[in-house]
Structures are given as C-alpha cells and as structure tokens.
Chain A
Amino acid sequence: MDTASKGTETSITLKGVMQAPVTPLKDDGSFDAAGFEKMVDFHVRNGAPAIAWPHHKAESLNLTIAERKLGAEVAVKTVARRVPVSIFTGTMSEEDSLDIARHAKKIGADMILAISPYCRRPTQDEIFDSMVRIGTATDLPLLTYNSPWRNGEGVEFTGELTRRLIERLPNYIGMKDASFHSEKFLEISRVALSMRPGFAIIMGVEHLLASYPLGACGSFSSSGAIAPKLCNKFFASLVAHDWPTARECQYKISRLWRLFKEQYPSSLKGAMIMMGRPVGPTRSPLPTATKERIDFLRQQLEELNILQTEPIGW
C-alpha cells in the first residue's frame, strides 16, 4: 500500500509482515546496542518490508527515554534507508511521547506510531486531542495504535474517531490494529479506506488471514524473529489469494503466538536462544524464561518444524 502524506518527501510503501524487533539486553539487563544492530540487520536481510521499534514486545515501557532514543538512532542507522523505519512513541507521559516524536524526526525516521494515553480509560475526545498533539508535533507520517481491551481498558479507536483524525491530520497514514475483531475492524476499515484509500491498516500481530481480504495491508510481526521464512510465505500466499496455504501458515503462526503470548516477550526471547540468536534476559517485572520453559519451547519449535526449516544464527 503506497501512502503519501503532506510534509514527507517520498511515499512510504507499507505492506507485508513488517518486523518489530525485540530489545537485546546484556546479562546485567543493560541495553545491548551491538546486539540490537545484529537484530535489526537480521530482519532486513530476511525480507522485512519495514522495521518498527520499540513495540511492547521490545519492552518499550521498561526502557528509559534515553535508551529509547539511543535504540531509535541505532535502528535508523542500521537500516540505512533499505526499508522504512517506524518509531513507537507510546509512553506513560504524553510529554515523553512528544519528545520521542520530535527526536524521531530529527534522526531521520520515516514515521511514528502513537498510542495515548495509557492506563486511564480515556474517552474518545481525550484520545483525539492526544493524537492531534502528537501528530502535529512533527510532520512525520503518523500511525495510531488501536488497542481495545475486553474489559473496557486500553485505548480504542472507533470508526468515528478514525474519521475525525483523518479529517484533522493530513499526515495520518495508517493504524496498527490490535482489535482482532470482525466488527471493530470493519468499522474502521469502511471509514478509513473510503476517506483515504491509501490508509494502511496493519495488524498488531499476524492475524492477517481474517483481515487481508477486507483491506489490511500487513502486520507488525510477533514471530518474525523466530520464523521469518514462514512470515514471508504467509504474506505471499495472501497476495496470491492462495487461501489453503495462507490458512496453513496462519494456523502455524497462531500456534507460535499461543506459545509466545504467555509471559510475552520472555517466551519469545527464550525461543530465540533455540534459533541461535540469543538476546539476553527480560527486564523486571516481566520474567526471564526459565530453563524448563526454554526446553518446552525447543520441543514445540521442533514439532512445528521451525527449528528444521528457519534460519539459525544471525
């Protein structure tokens, strides 16, 4: 999906299984910049059509703002314009989000992904105001993150809120959608794609099978660090409308997601050890995968034929 916005020099192509790297940490829990370079480069060399960091799987809220800025700089420098780079601005404080957005512009990132405000059961007007403040802090293309929770917490973008934001923000180019819900997805897609045909609806993890025929253009990956070949095969089958293959891939990726969502992202980091790509511990209060958990993950990855078919090492 080609998306052009006022204020950007080039159009951005957003489609496919885009990769959202984890954050490698050293044994003492400090940010591993060299490891992060390897992580980002691995994704680009393995077909990632875009890089997005630091999402929740990257432990974004457990990183300091200084670490997030450093990581953003490493990502932009390592990618070196091979694919677009999105910087996630979600923080507890909107002031920090604005700071990260301006920093992203300064270092040459291609777009920002915003969610705000966290943990406050915001009204639709509060979300609107916050997105306008962040979206107008720079002229970078803006993606918003729709994260409705079953219990009414979370930050939910309705179709009506999406309409208001598209009208207000010329640089509003797309949404990361984590509703994973037919009705909610269609309320957004019907509005957004009719008002702004290039609007990029990107699934929060690879629930692409249910959304691709309805206009989703790709996903931010949960399992690309483990199985990039599977991710690429999945998207190619969707483009070809090869539904049996797409179904087979979706079922496999969903089994991976079922493994990883338990203690996310520590299980993902644990599984990466098995793939020869160790990325260190997970920061507290999230747990680090135990030896027993890692053994279980190895068994599951073998059963899914991932260990045998996906790249090992960097």
Chain B
Amino acid sequence: MTNFKPGFVHTPVTPFKRDHSIDYDQYAKVIDFHLRNGAEALALPMPQGEDMSLTDPELRKVIEFGINEVKGRVPVIAHVSDAGTAIAVERARHAEQMGAAAIASHPPYFWHPKPAMVVEHLAQIGTATKLPFFVCSPPVEDVGTPLTTEIVLQLIDRAGNLAGVIDASMDWVFMVEAVSLGRGKRPGFQLVTGTDYMVSAGVIGGSGAFSPLASVAPKLARKLYDACAGQQFVAARKPQEDMASLHHLVKGAGLAGLKAAMRAMGRECGVPRPPARALGEVEYGRLMEHVNAMTFLAAEPRGW
C-alpha cells in the first residue's frame, strides 16, 4: 500500500462563477487540460484549489466530480486537510468510497497543538482508510503547525499506510532528515516535492512532484520533472531558474496570482473566492506584462 508512487502530479485550481459558486463546466475543462498536458496524477483540491474556501459538501463533491471526470485515466489523490480531526477523517473515508487512489493531509489547520496531538490528528486521518497516506509539510512562512522530523518518524510507527511526505516547506534540513531517517524506519519512504522547486528535493532523494505551476506552464514543469527524474540535476538548473522566476511572479500577486497567470495564458478560471482578493485591472496588466516578457513561456500552450 505504501508502494504507490504519485509521479508527476498536477494540482488544479477550482474555477468559480461570478456568483462565487463552483463552475463545474469550467472545472471539466481544467481537468481535461491537465490530462492532455502531462499529468500522471491529479491532487484535489490542494491549497491551489482553494480548499480552505470550500464548504465540506463542496470538498466532497469536488473529489467526486474529479474522479468521475478522470474516469480512471490517472490516479486522483484526495486532499482532506481540516482543523477538526473527525471532519478530515470522514472526508478521507468518503474519498476512499469514491475511488481516490491516495489520501493527503496537512497538520491541523488553525490550531497549534503540541506535537503529540499533531501525531494523533494525522494518525487518525491516515488510519481511517486503507489507502496510501501522505502527510503535507506546509510552507515555512505559513502560520499553521509545522511538520517536524520527529512528528514524521512517530507517524511512521502509528500509520502502516504512511507512504511519504509531500513537502512544501522547501526546508533542506527537514527534507534530508525526513527521507534519510524515514527510510531507516520504512524502506521506500517517499519524499515528494509539493512545489515547483524540484531540483533540491530530487537530488536529496525525493521522487515525484506536486506542481502548482503546471496550470500555467505544463511543458516547463514537465521538462524540469523529467530532468530530475533522470537524475540530471545540473541540466535541470536552467528550467528550475525559469520556474523560480515564474513562481516569484505568481507568488508576488498573492492568492489571485495563479488564476491571473492562467488567464494571461488564455485559460480563464474566474477569480478566487472571497476573502481572497482578485487582482485589479492595473495589477493584472502588470502581471500580464511580466508573463509576456518571459520568453520561456513562448512554447507553452495558450488557451485550453
């Protein structure tokens, strides 16, 4: 069960209509785009899919809808993070019933419990299903509970189906410890990068990647992924630097940046759901200028 390898995973956005309801017609287009542009698996709905802005029924429906649309062509990984343990547990069970291939969860949102409670929270979610389970390490600047090496090592003891860590911390100390000490406890324990920064995670011993920017630049993301998967880390430096400049641009525009960059590439997905703020036309124009100046994006698909 822990042998499941996510591979190159795309993390689609969740499109919204003007009234902020989920636009399922557009969502079908998004999923189809990812499947035609190199996704080996989809993860729904990750933070790029605005999971925190969706209600519990919507979160369940998004996973159900995604699995139905994908029709078994690639695995669908269900992301079930929440503040409350029981809520996340029930969502994991629902995802298993719907046919998800694996479960992923962050440490609890909002609360700052002691490490033992974080272990308990994640162990309950992990053991709620028989699916492979991945824990997500949040970005270092996040205000939530960080995932430490010690928590990961304790979770390996608690959850027999813990397959690995999806890392968005980008913290090299954590990554090296998690993969080297994790494999001391469970051979084959996986480090999967949860960002488009694939070189460092790959050379450290990671495999697989969750790529938020595959929504904008799927060819570049694939090129970077393939170079890392082929252990060509020095050759991967240029695409990694290009990807870093795109990341820097999108991140600088806040949560709305990713959808705005998709719009600039001809793939309209609406604006983020409040309280996230949409870009104004001036801000969007500035972002569009930068996107147009990025010559490496010339080879990327425009439109759907």
Q: Are B170 and A213 in contact, CB atoms less than 8 angstroms apart?
A: no
CB distance from B250 to the nearest CB of A (A): 12
Residue of A whose beta carbon sits closest to that of B233 = A213
Asked if A213 contacts B244 (CB within 8 A), the reply is no
Assess whether B172 is in contact with A183, with CB atoms less than 8 Å apart.
no
Nearest A-chain residue to B173, judged by Cβ: A180
Q: Which residues from A are CB-within-8-Å of B236?
A: 213
**CB distance A181 to B170 under 8 Å?**
yes
Contact B241 A181 (CB under 8 A): no
Given the complex of chains A and B, what is the CA–CA distance between A257 and B181 in angstroms? 13
CB distance from A242 to the nearest CB of B (A): 10
Query: What is the total number of residues of chain B having a CB less than 8 Å from a CB of chain A?
Result: 28
Given contacts A183-B247, A190-B245, A247-B205, are A207 and B173 in contact (CB under 8 A)? yes
Cβ of A246: which chain B residues have Cβ within 8 Å of it? 203
Residue of A nearest to B181 (CB): A255
Tell me the B133-163 residues at the A interface (CB within 8 Å). 140
Contact B199 A207 (CB under 8 A): no
A209–B203 contact, CB under 8 A?
yes
- Main SS of chain A's interface residues? helix
Q: Are B231 and A214 in contact (CB under 8 A)?
A: no
Chain A contributes a number of interface residues (CB within 8 A of B) equal to: 29
Inter-chain contact B201/A182, CB cutoff 8 Å: yes
Chain A: which residue is nearest B139 at the CB level?
A: A183
Residues on A with beta carbons closer than 8 Å to the beta carbon of B173: 180, 207, 254, 257
Q: Does B211 contact A (CB under 8 A)?
A: no
Asked, given contacts A182-B195, A190-B244, A254-B173, whether A213 binds B204 with beta carbons under 8 Å apart, the answer is no
Q: Is B176 an interface residue (CB 8 A)?
A: yes
- Considering only residues 182-207 of chain B, those with a C-beta below 8 Å from chain A are 195, 197, 199-201, 203-205
Answer whether residue A296 sits at the interface, using C-beta atoms and an 8 A cutoff. Answer: no
Cβ contacts under 8 Å, A187 to chain B: 244, 248
Out of B200, B205, B234, B237, name the residue touching A182 (CB < 8 Å): B200
Say yes or no: is A210 at the interface (Cβ < 8 Å to chain B): yes
B90-131 interface (Cβ within 8 A of A): none
Q: How far is the CA of A215 from the CA of B240 in the complex (A)?
A: 12
Contact of A186 (CB < 8 Å), options: B201, B231, B240: B240
A217-271 at interface with B (beta carbon < 8 Å)? 241, 243, 246-247, 250-251, 254-255, 257-258
Contact A215 B237 (CB under 8 A): yes
Q: How far is the CA of A127 from the CA of B31 in the complex (A)?
A: 46
Chain A nearest CB: distance from B208 CB in Å?
A: 16
Q: How far is the CB of B36 from chain A (nearest CB, A)?
A: 29
Known: A181-B140, A186-B241. A211 touches B200 (CB 8 A): yes
Most buried by B among A150, A181, A185, A207: A181
Contacting B199 at CB < 8 Å: which of A214, A241, A254? A214
Whether the Cβ atoms of B241 and A190 lie closer than 8 Å is yes
Chain A residues within 8 Å of B140, by CB: 150, 181
- B180 contacts the other chain (Cβ, under 8 Å)? yes
CB-CB under 8 A from B177, the residues of chain A are 254, 258
Q: Which of A243, A250, A254, A258 contacts B233 (CB 8 A)?
A: A243
B226: Cβ under 8 A from any A Cβ: no
Please provide the chain A residues from 159 to 190 with a CB less than 8 Å away from any CB of chain B in the complex. Answer: 180-187, 189-190
Whether B171 is near chain A, meaning CB under 8 Å from some CB there, is yes
Taken together as a complex, chains A and B put the C-alpha atoms of A250 and B241 apart, in Å, by 23
Task: Please give the distance in Å from A209's CB to the nearest CB on chain B.
Answer: 6
Among A150, A182, A250, contact of B176 (Cβ-Cβ < 8 Å): A250
A207 touches B172 (CB 8 A): yes
A258 to B244, CA, bound (A): 29
Q: Please state if B237 and A213 are interface contacts (CB–CB under 8 Å).
A: yes
Say if the beta carbon of B214 comes within 8 Å of chain A. Answer: no
B175 within 8 A of A: yes
Determine whether the beta carbon of B237 is less than 8 Å from that of A214.
yes
Q: How far is the CB of A96 from chain B (nearest CB, A)?
A: 31
Q: Which single residue of chain A is at the shortest CB-CB distance from B228?
A: A213
Q: Are B240 and A209 in contact (CB under 8 A)?
A: no
Q: Mark B56-76, 1 if CB is under 8 A from A, else 0.
A: 000000000000000000000
Contacting residues, chain B, for A182 (C-beta < 8 A): 170, 172, 195, 197, 199-201
Tell me if A186 and B197 are in contact (CB < 8 A): yes
Contacts of A150 in B (CB 8 A): 140
Closest to B231 in A: A243
* Distance between A255 CB and nearest chain B CB, rounded to angstroms: 7
Hey, which chain A residues are within 8 Å of B234, CB to CB?
A: 213, 241
- Residue numbers in A under 8 Å from B231 (CB-CB): 243
CB-defined contacts of B171 to chain A, threshold 8 Å = 180-181
Given A182-B195, A183-B197, A243-B233, A210 and B241 contact (CB-CB distance below 8 Å): no
Interface string of B240-268 (1 = CB under 8 A from A): 11001101100000000000000000000
B residues in contact with A189, CB < 8 Å: 241
Inside 8 A of A258's CB, which chain B residues have their CB? 177
Find out whether the CB atom of A180 lies under 8 angstroms from the CB atom of B172: yes
Is A255 touching B172 in the complex (CB atoms < 8 A)?
no
7 interchain residue pairs of minimum CB distance: A210-B200, A182-B197, A213-B233, A251-B180, A182-B170, A186-B244, A180-B172
Supply 20 A–B pairs (Cβ within 8 Å), ascending by A.
Answer: A181-B171, A181-B172, A183-B195, A183-B197, A186-B244, A187-B244, A209-B204, A210-B203, A211-B200, A213-B199, A213-B203, A214-B240, A215-B237, A243-B203, A243-B231, A246-B203, A250-B176, A251-B176, A254-B176, A254-B177
B positions within 8 Å CB-CB of A: 140, 170-173, 175-177, 180, 195, 197, 199-201, 203-205, 231, 233-234, 236-237, 240-241, 244-245, 247-248
Known: A180-B172, A209-B204, A214-B240. 8 other contacts (CB 8 A): A181-B140, A185-B200, A186-B244, A209-B203, A210-B199, A211-B172, A213-B200, A213-B236
